[in-house]
């Protein structure tokens, strides 16, 4: 397979991944073309995605913060006469930071529409309100 075909396949897979994501389509097209049932489902999906991302972000933040704790504790451990344990703790600190960065990258990769969640939620709520007002007029 040539490099040109490989790059084309990668781009096509990226487009397919985006098109299979309902929230991304709603963000790209806007809420108007979707039925009310789907818009309510999108609101639920946005809420669930937001909860998952907040949970993961909290866990990865704790992982990153534990690196600072390891560095601080390593000085205390060295003071009490355990230099080998102190060295292990110092070497473990960068690993927790790397884990934090990998986790944040995973969140951006696994939840690409999370960034647009608040804007999309507001647009969907406005569209649902508009539809409710139009239905009450009839």
Strands (DSSP E) found in 63-120: none
Which pLDDT band holds residue 94 (cuts at 50, 70, 90)? very high
- Rounded-to-integer distance, Cα 63 and Cα 103, Å: 9
- Residue 99 confidence (pLDDT): 95
Residue 138 in this model has a pLDDT that exceeds 60? no
Structure tokens at 14: 């990226």
Residue 137 in this model has a pLDDT that exceeds 70? no
- Rounded-to-integer distance, Cα 29 and Cα 122, Å: 14
* 32 three-state secondary structure: coil
Q: What is the pLDDT of residues 31-85, one digit of tens each?
A: 888 889 989 998 998 999 999 999 999 999 999 999 999 999 999 999 999 999 9
Structure tokens at 54: 């907040």
Q: What is the pLDDT of residues 95-134, one digit of tens each?
A: 999 999 999 999 988 887 788 888 889 999 999 999 888 8
- Residue 17 confidence (pLDDT): 64
- Rounded-to-integer distance, Cα 129 and Cα 31, Å: 12
- Rounded-to-integer distance, Cα 14 and Cα 68, Å: 37
């Amino acid at each position: 397979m040539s490099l040109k075909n490989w790059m084309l396949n990668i781009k096509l897979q990226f487009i397919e991944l985006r098109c299979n994501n309902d929230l991304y389509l709603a963000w790209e097209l806007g809420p108007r073309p979707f039925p009310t049932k789907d818009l309510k489902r999108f609101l639920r999906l946005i809420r669930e995605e937001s909860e998952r991302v907040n949970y993961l972000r909290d866990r990865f933040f704790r992982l990153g913060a534990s690196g600072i704790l390891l560095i601080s504790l390593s000085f205390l451990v060295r003071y009490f006469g355990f230099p080998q344990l102190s060295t292990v703790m110092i070497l473990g600190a960068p690993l927790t930071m790397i884990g934090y960065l990998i986790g944040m990258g995973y969140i951006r990769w696994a939840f690409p529409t999370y960034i647009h969640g608040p804007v999309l939620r507001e647009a969907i709520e406005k569209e649902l309100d508009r539809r409710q007002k139009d239905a009450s007029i009839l």
